[in-house]
Amino acid sequence: MPRSGVALVLRPLFDRATEYGHYYMGKAAEYASRRMFVRNLGAGDATRDNFEASLVSDDPIFCYLLGHGNADTYSAQNQEIVMRTCNGNESLIGRIVLLLSCSCGIRLGPDTVNKGALTVFCWAVDFTWVATEDPPFDNYARGFFEAVNAISNALVEGRITGEAMSRSMSTWERWIDYWLASDDPYASMVVQHMIHDRDGQRLFGDETVSVVAPGAPPEIITPEGIPLPLPLLTGQTLLLFSLLL
C-alpha cells in the first residue's frame, strides 16, 4: 500500500522544453520536502529504472512526473518510454499522480485511474507555454508552471485532490486576468496559451483523497503571487514550447 507522506518527483532535463519543467518542479520538490519525504530524481536520474525502483523502495503516495508524451505514452529522460496505456501504468495503483506531459489526459490518464490509481491530474491537450528567457528569468513562462505547481503545493499542505484542482484553476485565472490587462506586445499570445492549458487540464478519479495522513494539520502558504508590474519585454525572440512526444 502506498505510503502517506512520501513523494516521487521525476524531472528529466535534456532539451529546452524540459528545462522549464525541471526548474519549476525543483521548486515544488523543495516545498514538498518541508512536509514529506521526497525522492527527487532529476536530469540523468529521471529514468524508467529509477522510477520503478522508487515505486518499490519508497512506495510513494504522490508522483509528480514531467516528460514528453502523447495520448497513450509518457516518457522521461531522453524520451525513454516509462508507461503506455497498454503497459506500465498499473504500477500507479493506489497513488495520486500529477502528470505534466502532452495529451496524456486523452487516454493514458483515465486508463491509469481505471487500472487503480486514486487520482490523475493531466492534460487532454498539448501543454504549451510562451518564453523568451531562461527559466529563472522568464516572466512569460512563470504563470504556466505556477498554475501546475499549485496542485502539488496544495496537496503538500494537506488539501484533498478536488481542492488542489480548484487552487490550480484559481492560479490560472489570476495570471490570465493579469495578462489581459497588460500592454505587453506578447500578452495576447500568453493569454491564448494559458486558456488552452487551463481548459485542457483534467482530474480523473477520486476528488476527496490526500497525500498526507488524515489529521495532519495543513500548513497554509501564501498563494502564488503576481509581481506588478512585470517588465515590458521588447526586442526579444518569442519561443513556443510544448511537451509533445
pLDDT for 232: 37
Sheet containing strand 73-75, strands side by side? 69-70, 73-75, 81-84
pLDDT at position 95 is 98
Read off the pLDDT of each residue in 31-48 and give the average, rounded to a whole number: 96
Average pLDDT, the chain: 90
Q: Is the pLDDT of residue 34 over 70?
A: yes
Domain spans, the chain: 3-211+228-242
188 contacts: CB under 8 Å, gap ≥ 6: none
* Spatial strand order in the sheet of 201-205: 37-42, 3-11, 60-66, 96-100, 119-123, 201-205
Name the class of domain 3-211+228-242: alpha beta
Tell me the three cell numbers of residue 111. Answer: 486508463
Distance CA 111, CA 117 (A): 9
> CB count, 10 Å around CB of 216?
14
Which of 147, 151, 173 is closest to 164 using CA atoms? Answer: 151
Compute the 3-state secondary structure of the chain and give helix, strand, coil in percent, each to the nearest 5: 40, 25, 35
Banded model confidence at residue 230, pLDDT cuts 50, 70, 90 = very low
- Please state, in angstroms and as integers, the Cα–Cα distance from residue 34 to each residue in 37, 54, 138, 218, following that order: 8, 19, 26, 12
Q: Can you give the pLDDT at residue 86?
A: 87
**Span 101-138, pLDDT tens digits:** 999 999 999 999 999 999 999 999 999 999 999 999 99
pLDDT at 89 over 90: yes
Least confidently predicted of 18-32, 40-54, 213-227: 213-227
Which of 1, 8, 2 lies closest to 32, judged by CA? 8
Checking if the pLDDT of 223 tops 60, the result is no
